Amino acid sequence: MHTRLSDSIKPYSMINQKHLDLNSMKELPDSHAWLSLDESPSYDSSTPDLVPVINLNDPNAVKLVGHACKTWGVFQVTNHGVPINLLQEMEAAGRKLFALPIQQKLKAARSPNGVSGYGVARISTFFPKLMWSEGFTIIGSPYDHARKLWPNRYSLFCDVIEEYKQEMNKLAQRLMSLMLGSLGVSMDDVKWAGTQGSCPALQLNSYPACPDPDRAMGLAAHTDSTLLTILHQNNTSGLQAHKEGTGWVTVPPIPGALVVNVGDLLHILSNGLYPSVLHRAMVNRTRHRFSVAYLYGPPSNVQISPLSKLTDHIHPPLYRPVTWSEYLGKKAKHFNKALSTVRVCAPLNGFADANEHNGVRVG
Ligand SMILES: C=C1C[C@]23C[C@H]1CC[C@H]2[C@@]12CCC[C@@](C)(C(=O)O1)[C@H]2[C@@H]3C(=O)O
Ligand SMILES: O=C(O)CCC(=O)C(=O)O
Ligand SMILES: [Fe+2]
């Protein structure tokens, strides 16, 4: 019997969901006014530190991906094989969903014990203020929710979701193979890597135009609990990634490109060589921003631990084995400190691991 991913994330459901119709608000309510937003770096404009953009058809793709994972934990990909019109259809489907009246959207609200459905950011429980966003999570079939949203016309939405998931799954496998390859490991070395058993989630995010963007937060800083996340953003910037020594850097929308994040499970699998990236979404005064995240992980009950090829007596495994289900439970409870809860060898010299950003800069 597989543990259901949905059971692992229940602690998030303690949220006292507060559904405001952000689209119609003329002022930022106190509930959404953040006291301080950690600012972006002011560059010496001659040498900006830019998130890598990788053409997946580049003969050097393995090397480029490895370098991006090691230094940034986030990169954009072009020539990824996902048809542009599918990205557009997915974006249009998301727009249509979020444009529904709030009462209609609430018919598909995430239930107190559930994972899928419409609601405020799940991570809201960890913050004193609410975020300027609404989300819709899909795990498994979208039909039940879609039927509540559009009783007679749900199939178009479901068809787009299914096709999108299929294309993303193909791309995620290709990215995994590049990432593993860059670590000197093949897909065959990792038994589960090529299997279809994973239970990915789709997260649709909407960030309405905000009357006071300098005091609002779209989605607070977090890492994803995945192996990797593939993100499509509309042509409105807002996504920022945190880079050690540089600070918050905007990941600019590039038409047709997709953003790839390293998640916590790849951090563990690579024994910390590929640190998961801390990222957040800012909001905009005039433009409505949308994003769609495909959260990719291993089959829910497979134990993930540092790859044996990467460890020896000088480089002992830094993390203990953990399943995706188990890890999601930890994330729901400990949020950005989840990674430290599965860390083994505490550094003898008392210094924190350079990669151990989780829990340090957030909140
Ligand atoms: C399979 C997943 C992964 C989840 C939980 C569950 C469904 C939705 C995912 C997200 C999406 C938004 C950020 C995040 C931090 C969140 O709050 O919900 C993610 C979380 C995680 O990566 O931990
Ligand atoms: O909207 C974005 O750009 C980020 C979304 C995100 O981080 C997520 O859904 O996990
Ligand atoms: Fe994320």
- Listing DSSP states for 128-150 in one string gives SS--S-EEEEEES-SHHHHHHH-
For ligand 1, atom 19, name the residue with the nearest CA: 224
Q: Catalytic site residue 361? A: no
Ligand 2 atom with the shortest distance to the CA of 218: 1
Distance set, CA 152 to CA 2, 92, 274 (Å): 34, 18, 46
Q: What is the pTM of this model?
A: 0.91
Of 207 and 246, which is predicted with more confidence? 207
Q: Count helices and strands (H / E) in the chain.
A: 9, 12
3-state secondary structure of 351: coil
User: How much is the mean pLDDT over the chain?
Assistant: 89
For ligand 1, atom 18, name the residue with the nearest CA: 122
Confidence of residue 354 (pLDDT cuts 50, 70, 90): very low
**pLDDT of 315 higher than 50:** yes
Ligand 3 midpoint to CA 279 (Å): 6
- Listing DSSP states for 193-252 in one string gives TT-S----EEEEEEE---S-GGG--SEEEE--SSSEEEEEE-SS--EEEEETTTEEEE--
Residue type for position 167: E
The catalytically annotated residue of 110, 122, 289, 343 is 289
Percentage of the chain exceeding pLDDT 90: 74
CA–CA separation, 94 and 146 (whole Å): 12
Angle between helices 155-182 and 84-98 (to 10 degrees): 130
Kindly compute the dihedral angle of the four CA atoms of residues 80, 85, 90, 96, in this order, to the nearest 10 degrees: 160
Number of other residues whose CB lies within 10 A of the CB of residue 130: 22
Q: What is the mean pLDDT of residues 228-253?
A: 96
Number of other residues whose CB lies within 10 A of the CB of residue 285: 11
pLDDT tens column, 57-79? 999 999 999 999 999 999 999 99
Q: Which residues, in sequence order, are bridge partners of residue 243?
A: 247
Ligand 1 atom with the shortest distance to the CA of 199: 1
pLDDT tens column, 166-190? 999 999 999 999 999 999 998 888 8
